[in-house]
Amino acid sequence: MFYREAGQFKSSYATDQAIFPLLQDRIGFFTILAIAFIGVPLLADDFILDAIAIPFLILTLATIGLNVLTGYAGQLSLGTGGFMGVGAYACYKLTTAFPEVNIILLILLSGVFSAGVGLVFGLPSLRIKGLYLVVTTLAAQFFLEWCFIRIGWLYNYNVSGAIDSPERSLAGGLVLTGPNADSVTRYLVVLAIVAVMTLLVKNLIRGRIGRSWMMIRDMDIAAELMGVRPLVAKLSAFAVSSYICGVAGAMFVFFYLGSVEPAAFSITLSFQILFMVIIGGLGSLIGCYFGAAFIWILPIFLRNVLPAIGIDIGAENIVHLTSMIVGVLIILFLILEPHGLARLWQLGKEKLRVWPFPYA
Amino acid sequence: MEVKTLLRGTLMGGVLFAAILPAAAEDSVYVQLPTYRTGPYAGSGIPIANGMADYITMLNERDGGINGVKIVFDECETGYDTQKGVECYEQAKAKKSLVFNPWSTGITLAVIPKASVDKMPILSMAYGLSAAADGKTFPWVFNPPMTYWDGASGVVKYLGDQEGGLDKLKGKKIGYIYLDAGYGKEPIPLLEQFATQYGFTLLKYPVPGKEMQNQSSQWLNVRRDKPDYMVIWGWGAMNPTAVKEATKIRFPMDKFIGVWWSGGEDDARGGGQQAKGYMTLNFNAVGTDFPAVQDIKKYVVDAGKSKVEAAKFGENLYNRGVVNSLYMAEAIRIAQEKSGKKVITAEDMRVGLENLSIDEARLEKIGLKGFIAPVKVTCDNHSGHNKMYVQRWTGDKWEKASDWFDPMSDVVNPMLMAAAKSYAETNKPWPARSEPCAN
């Protein structure tokens, strides 16, 4: 009734190709942006910002990174944790070597190192596919993790073997990282980076490069016959994906955890992000947000809500419960809705278009 | 599912979510207990979690808390995972916990820089960053009764005693098998220093966390290298695996010594009768032969308020958990005295921890004589470098194999101070201590 395109005419190519062609979508989108940029910082307390919002946004970005590779280009990967680690360690090395350079610049730059590593480990994808590619990316994961533990130069020979985020501030004295950084500041920086990167990826996917990724995904031989070069398409997917993951990894250390051991970038993180992609929806950007929100917030939600309604099952059972719920959901999604939460969202929108009638 | 039901569910969830913030009851203080009853380290984490919870429950049931102030607590499951640990820390901060016990070196490292900003005392009992013993640099971090470096010095001292003097260690080979993480790497600088000082060779066998249940390659190397002694710095599933592997290659168990975290009953049981003679350091007594522990049995375990299995009550790691809660309870009591308030804040708690002093008389009074060695923390020394002893596995239980002895503080202290300085140096700008010293 109120959500339909009737009467909205497009009179130029630009309006026709807009990301949100519908007025209602645009209103909704800007409302969400306004809430995220203005409402949340005003209303949320430190716990919501530090334990929910910031990690959720960072993990969303990592999910977008993996989704570019797996969802759009069809290359399975289990190396996400490792690629995130490369970004984090690169940023740590850069900022300890050049303490006066702006940290945001370094975070964006550290993704380049991650992209380089991703390119190298993406090379086998030219010859092998599917499960076999999973094995090579798994090798990347283990090799990178080994580097983080074994190569002392990467963590400046710290006794603890951990890297930590030193205090860095803007020229104006606004503290961005380190323990003295305000939650709101860190949240806004993370939000800005994630929002801008999402926009860039969205446009990349709508363009020539993204289309060539999807052609490779859907049928590589046909794509090759139509003039898509697999070398360029696959490697660019690996590079872009690793770049995004690297930036997410650097933010993970500098804006969220503050200090990490190599174990933070273990295979567990890779799986966590893969589950976010699957639950959210392969090949969907909004799905990345849904998936990350679901996997990250569900345990926190369960832990806080169950005791409040009188079901006190103990902290450890909530962990078991979460694994069970996530496990069951992954199986259900794979069987019933392989496109994940994003597809449900789309179905909901379509239903809304014809509402209150059952069909149009 | 209809969109409407979905919406309704979300709304209801939101309302519930808002209702969770607990209304603070009168005259109670809140302490969050981060625990891990899940994951690969659960074998070590469960007894500790039980011990911590049971001692506090006992105080609440028997005495109505501390000076009439109940200690409200809940558990936060970390799974020994740094991500979740940091989330627990944020939650502890939001719910105004008096103190944060990370129970993992990784989590400790992650929260140390935040502690002074958030005014949250960190109690890392005999783990975490050794350099945090320097109270001038780390006013908010406490690691009594001693640090890993004290432990490593204790091991070397004990091995020297076995040989008949530290100089007899010259030319010996000492193998060091450790969890390849912050925890296991922590004592290496000290061991290396001792190796050059006393002329023994240090052989290192790192065990990666994800392969800790498969150590055959490390022990194959041990068999090849034939070290005179083996020292283990393991945790969780790594310990029983190491003990089992050591018995498999017939390594003499009386030459195998572990840090206090490798001394769970289940760790040694893995090797069965062949593990007889395996030694570890310890700083708490094993068993139930103490009035306060009997009170835990009476008020908590027999009343069905504990999660501990009857057979595991009073085991080593359970008692270790009790020690952790004992420190917290004593610190609360001291903080009440110092601040003159009954319901203290985290900042008062910091003062309490800094003045933590449990002497023989106090131990006798609370029914824990001989349970631990007397503990004293000062403004300068947040660890105290207190006494430890060596325990030996008899095949079915631990027995005391040495008297209480001091670590080699003369070697450890200067290194601790240097490490604290270099930590502050690499983490510039590290805040200078602004808290006045109250003792």
Q: Which helix (H) or strand (E) holds A57?
A: helix A54-67
Same domain, B117 and B261: no
Comparing A204 with B2, the larger pLDDT belongs to A204
Same domain, B51 and B132: yes
Q: Contact A316/B419, CB-based, under 8 Å?
A: no
Q: Contact B75/A314, CB-based, under 8 Å?
A: yes
| Residue A180 placed within a domain | yes
Amino acid letter for position B104: S
By the CB < 8 Å criterion, does B120 face chain A? no
| Residue A217 placed within a domain | yes
pLDDT tier for residue B431 given thresholds of 50, 70 and 90:
confident
Query: Are the C-beta atoms of A100 and A168 separated by less than 8 Å?
Result: no
Same domain, B299 and B358: yes
Residue B141 has φ and ψ, to the nearest 5°, of -115, 135
| Residue B21 placed within a domain | no
Please name the residues between 405 and 434 in chain B that touch chain A, using a CB distance below 8 Å: 419, 426-429
Report pLDDT for B16: 45
Does the pLDDT of residue A36 top 60, yes or no? yes
Same domain, B254 and B394: yes
| Residue A104 placed within a domain | yes
| Residue B432 placed within a domain | no
pLDDT tier for residue B23 given thresholds of 50, 70 and 90:
very low
Q: What is the pLDDT of residues B304-349, one digit of tens each?
A: 999 998 889 999 999 999 999 999 999 999 999 999 999 999 999 9
Nearest residue of chain B to residue A347 (CA atoms) = B3
Q: What is the pLDDT of residues B128-165, one digit of tens each?
A: 888 899 999 999 999 999 999 999 999 999 999 999 98
Give the mutation candidate from B41, B90, B112, B117 for the A interface (greatest A CB count, under 10 A). B90
Query: Are the C-beta atoms of B218 and B148 separated by less than 8 Å?
Result: no
Give the mutation candidate from B20, B192, B425 for the A interface (greatest A CB count, under 10 A). B20
> Domain total for chain A?
1
Q: What are the DSSP calls for A4-20, one per residue?
A: --TT----SHHHHT-S-
| Residue B235 placed within a domain | yes
Amino acid letter for position B370: G
Does the pLDDT of residue B21 top 50, yes or no? no
Q: Which two tokens stand for residue B138?
A: 């780390």
Report pLDDT for B290: 95
| Residue A328 placed within a domain | no
| Residue B433 placed within a domain | no
Q: Give the domain range for residue B98.
A: 27-147+286-387+417-426
Report pLDDT for B294: 95
| Residue B435 placed within a domain | no
Comparing A81 with B425, the larger pLDDT belongs to A81
Compute the Cα dihedral for B226, B228, B233, B238 and give only its sign: positive
Nearest by CB to B113, from A96, A258, A351: name it.
A258
pLDDT tier for residue A181 given thresholds of 50, 70 and 90:
confident
Q: Which helix (H) or strand (E) holds B183?
A: helix B182-185
Q: What is the pTM of this model?
A: 0.86
Taking residues B188-217, report their average pLDDT.
91
Same domain, B272 and B395: yes
> Domain total for chain B?
2
| Residue B35 placed within a domain | yes
Q: Omega before A262 cis (within 30°)?
A: no
Same domain, B87 and B199: no
> Where does B297-408 have alpha helices with state H?
316-339, 346-354, 360-365
Q: What are the chain A neighbours of B94 within 8 Å (beta carbons)?
A: 45-47, 51
Among the listed ranges A185-189, A244-248, A324-328, which one has the minimum average pLDDT value? Answer: A324-328
Does the pLDDT of residue B2 top 60, yes or no? no
| Residue B11 placed within a domain | no
Q: Which two tokens stand for residue B145?
A: 């009764």
By the CB < 8 Å criterion, does A261 face chain B? yes
| Residue A27 placed within a domain | no
Residue position matching structure tokens 């969770």 = B20
Residue position matching structure tokens 């940023």 = A91
pLDDT tier for residue B26 given thresholds of 50, 70 and 90:
low
> Where does B186-315 have alpha helices with state H?
188-198, 216-225, 238-248, 265-269, 291-296
Same domain, B129 and B220: no
Q: Give the domain range for residue A180.
A: 35-266
Q: What is the pLDDT of residues A108-143, one digit of tens each?
A: 999 999 999 999 999 998 888 888 999 999 999 999
Amino acid letter for position B259: V
Query: Are the C-beta atoms of A64 and A201 separated by less than 8 Å?
Result: yes
Same domain, B400 and B271: yes
| Residue A61 placed within a domain | yes
Nearest residue of chain A to residue B90 (CA atoms) = A47
Question: Crossing angle of helices A80-97/A54-67, nearest 10°?
Answer: 120
Taking residues A208-220, report their average pLDDT.
95
Report pLDDT for A228: 94
* Contacts of B285 by beta carbon, 8 Å cutoff, 6+ apart: B319, B370, B371, B372
Report pLDDT for A1: 66
Residue position matching structure tokens 């006045």 = B436
> Where does B20-125 have alpha helices with state H?
42-63, 82-94, 105-118
pLDDT tier for residue A209 given thresholds of 50, 70 and 90:
very high
Q: How far apart are CA B255 and CA B251, in angstroms?
A: 8
Does the pLDDT of residue B395 top 50, yes or no? yes
Q: What are the DSSP calls for A266-323, one per residue?
A: SHHHHHHHHHHHHHH-TT-HHHHHHHHHHHHHHHHHHHHHHHHTT----HHHHHHHHH
Query: Are the C-beta atoms of A159 and B189 separated by less than 8 Å?
Result: yes
Q: What are the DSSP calls for A198-247, one per residue?
A: HHHHHHHHHSHHHHHHHHHHH-HHHHHHTT--HHHHHHHHHHHHHHHHHH
Same domain, B181 and B327: no
Query: Are the C-beta atoms of A68 and A201 separated by less than 8 Å?
Result: yes
**Angle of CA points A329, A331, A337, to nearest 5°:** 80
Same domain, B265 and B396: yes
Q: Contact B86/A320, CB-based, under 8 Å?
A: no
Q: Contact A166/B106, CB-based, under 8 Å?
A: no
Same domain, B182 and B302: no
Does the pLDDT of residue A81 top 80, yes or no? yes
Q: B142-166 burial, b for 16+ CB within 10 Å, e for fewer?
A: bbbbbbbbbbbbbbbbbbbebbeeb
Give the mutation candidate from A259, A290, A313, A323 for the B interface (greatest B CB count, under 10 A). A259
| Residue B8 placed within a domain | no
Q: What is the pLDDT of residues A264-279, one digit of tens each?
A: 899 989 999 999 999 9
Q: Which helix (H) or strand (E) holds A177?
A: strand A175-177
Taking residues A39-62, report their average pLDDT.
92
Same domain, B279 and B376: no
Q: How far apart are CA B418 and CA B425, in angstroms?
A: 10
Please name the residues between 191 and 210 in chain B that touch chain A, using a CB distance below 8 Å: 206, 208-210
| Residue A329 placed within a domain | no
Residue B195: CATH number of its domain: 3.40.50.2300
Q: What is the pLDDT of residues A276-330, one digit of tens each?
A: 999 999 999 999 999 999 999 888 888 778 777 877 777 788 888 888 888 898 8
Does the pLDDT of residue B18 top 50, yes or no? no
Please name the residues between 29 and 68 in chain B that touch chain A, using a CB distance below 8 Å: 35-38
